[in-house]
Structure 1
Amino acid sequence: MTDHQPPASVESNALSSQHSQHSPRDPSARHCGLVAVVGAPNAGKSTLVNALVGQKVAIVSPKAQTTRTRLMGVAIEGDTQLLLVDTPGIFEPNRRFDRAMVAAAWGGTEGADVIALVVDGKGGLGPKVTEIVEALKGRSEPIYLVLNKVDLADKPKLLLHAERLNALLPFAETFFISAQTGDGVGHFKQVLARALPQGPWHYPEDQVSDASERALAAEVTREQLYLQLHAELPYASVIETEKFVDREDGSAEIHQQIMVERASQRAIVLGKGGARIKEIGARARAELAVLLDRPVHLYLHVKVKPGWDEDRGIYRDLGLDWVE
């Protein structure tokens, strides 16, 4: 590595090490493999997965730990289908729900052909990042370091971050990208595709996610809850899709329950005269109509359920394992 700062455009700027090796490929064969995208909360993992897929498959918000469960985006690059596992942010868990999210994150790396560690390039190297790097030591898969948010980062510090992290763990390659603007994403996708093994595609060419429409509907509503309420409602909420019906006219009828822990939180979600819940519903309905490519009738109601995060059924519905 050099002391030069990354250029303004990093499309071709990948720092390669002697550990990067690609086996010869049969140009007439298809390739397919699993890419585990891991990192600390708010590193931009979901934004990166969306950028690689080319459309939205994972919800994003400024709040840390927005992603709660393992979700897979499906992207195509030439003859390769990339199965991108978007995982929850890895952090020090305090309660059972936190432990389940962290377990889901590490579980998302099982069977991976490649691991991509996404680091917030503007946030520096805190203990959360170094702990993840330590935990990745000894893995046999190629591990790529992705320094994200280069459009916002202090450019002179980016190479320093890369050097320090590579001193802890010699990464196969290091990339400087902005998942938000797309800078560097195309080159990173090409490198990922070249690293994946020969094999049949697992999903139809037009499928972009393994999430069901029912699960997608709950995620879109949860995203609006986060975006509109910000710090007013932390993580004491969960969305349950109670009913998803295909109407004869081709539209979707969706009934969802927003569960919170306290009556005061219910009042926040409802807003004055029900204004907030109406706005949440309107925005979620508009986005779902685009994602599902059909009209959507969305009905929301809010329920107070103290201790919902100790309900095994909710863990099952979210795709999380019950952990002690």
Structure 2
Amino acid sequence: MANMTTRCGFAALVGAPNAGKSTLLNRMTGAKLSIVSPKAQTTRFRVLGILMRAETQILLVDTPGIFTPKRKLDRAMVNAAWTGAEEADVTLLLVDAKAGARESVRDIAVRLAQRGGRTWLVLNKVDLVEPQALLPLIATLNDLATFEETFMVSAATGDGADVLMDRLAETMPASPYLYPPDDLTDLPDRLLAAELVREQVFLQTHEEVPYATTVETESYTERKDGSVRIDVTVYVTRPGHKAILIGGRGARVKEIGAQARKQLSSLLERPVHLFLNVKERAGWDEEGARLRAIGLEDPG
């Protein structure tokens, strides 16, 4: 049997917060790998989606949205985003076509131009925009950086995603696969557990509460019956947030746990016993050890 040449490489997704990176990643891999939330800045570390296409393994690096950092946590998130882009074979700048060439998008384009390397422009949410409005947007962005190629997609409907994936597969370098072809993600199960709990905190609470919380998996134990017990702690920065998260008679934290457990059971394909604990810890987002625990390098 003739040996097919395999290809394997990294594609980084960069963009301003809420450009739709996580939604696109999930659409392309067909699995819920990166958390998706209607609020900005929910991706705190790089999630790797593994996409098998033709004889190619495309390793998708989803990076935190790039914004102006204020706290140590923010700086670590932005550093992670740029590190992800620098390590990739091709970088995809994802732009919300409806929002257009905002200042945050222009800043990223300029930085990509300074950095060099192969960059493609991916306009997302094109289903929400008149086609004639797209050309000026493409021209504006190409004035700031040189994009080898431009793609129009709708991450929400999947339009254009196949064309993008086929081109990515063609452009990856010849290489053996870095992961077993049936692996979907290298995200350790305990990080996945913490992220799914954090996603529920985002979906079920409002205002500043989600941004003032971090979630860590304290223990992850495989049981003899094939199920798994996962203990997760949600850290908040102030007492008022703790009360909101727990809810009247513990109703809110129960619902957060129930939804996260349902998703975890389906992703891990086994019964999950999930135990949530809410603790107050002021200033967690300035603690280096905490940042490392959620997969970020301490920017110092």
Q: Same fold (TM over 0.5)?
A: yes
Query: 2:189 aligned to 207, 213, 219, which one?
Result: 213
Q: Find the aligned partners of 1:74 and 1:285 in 2 and give their Cα distance.
A: 23
Q: Which residue of 1 aligns with 2:259?
A: 283
Is 1:271–2:251 an aligned residue pair? no
1:131-155 CA distance string (max 9 Å, x none): 0000011444221100001122344
Q: Which residue of 2 aligns with 1:65?
A: 41
Q: Greater helix share, 1 or 2?
A: 2
Q: Which residue of 1 aligns with 2:51?
A: 75
1:304 deviation in Å? Answer: 0.4
Unaligned 5+ runs, structure 1:
1-25
Cα 1:99–1:59, aligned 2, differ >3 Å: closer, same or farther?
same
Q: Which residue of 2 aligns with 1:196?
A: 172
1:41-99 CA distance string (max 9 Å, x none): 01011111111111111001011001011111110110100010000000000111100
1:232 deviation in Å? Answer: 5.2
Is 1:187–2:163 an aligned residue pair? yes
Query: 2:209 aligned to 233, 250, 262, which one?
Result: 233
Q: Find the aligned partners of 2:282 and 2:242 in 1 and give their Cα distance.
A: 11
1:203-246 CA distance string (max 9 Å, x none): 01111111000000000000011011132514110001011101
Q: Find the aligned partners of 2:109 and 2:242 in 1 and give their Cα distance.
A: 40
1:190-209 CA distance string (max 9 Å, x none): 01111110000000111111
Q: Find the aligned partners of 2:113 and 2:148 in 1 and give their Cα distance.
A: 13
Q: Which residue of 1 aligns with 2:298?
A: 322
Give runs of aligned pairs for residues 144-155 of structure 1, distance below 5 A.
Answer: 144-155=120-131
1:162-193 CA distance string (max 9 Å, x none): 12111222211111101111000000000111
Contact 2:35/2:199 (CA < 8 Å) preserved in 1? yes
Is 1:302–2:278 an aligned residue pair? yes
Q: Which residue of 1 aligns with 2:28?
A: 52
Give runs of aligned pairs for residues 93-242 of structure 1, distance below 5 A.
Answer: 93-231=69-207, 233-242=209-218
Supply the AA of the counterpart residue of 1:227: L
Q: Find the aligned partners of 1:150 and 1:202 in 2 and give their Cα distance.
A: 33
Supply the AA of the counterpart residue of 2:266: V
Query: 2:12 aligned to 28, 36, 39, which one?
Result: 36
Same amino acid, percent of matched pairs: 51
1:311 deviation in Å? Answer: 2.0
Q: Find the aligned partners of 1:127 and 1:234 in 2 and give their Cα distance.
A: 25
Contact 2:71/2:286 (CA < 8 Å) preserved in 1? no
Q: Which residue of 1 aligns with 2:61?
A: 85
* Moved >2 Å (runs of 4+): 138-141, 151-156
Is 1:250–2:226 an aligned residue pair? yes
Cα 1:155–1:231, aligned 2, differ >3 Å: closer, same or farther?
farther
Q: Find the aligned partners of 1:193 and 1:141 in 2 and give their Cα distance.
A: 18
Q: Find the aligned partners of 1:155 and 1:266 in 2 and give their Cα distance.
A: 47
1:226-281 CA distance string (max 9 Å, x none): 01113251411000101110111101101110000000000110111111111101
1:111-140 CA distance string (max 9 Å, x none): 211000000111111110000000011444
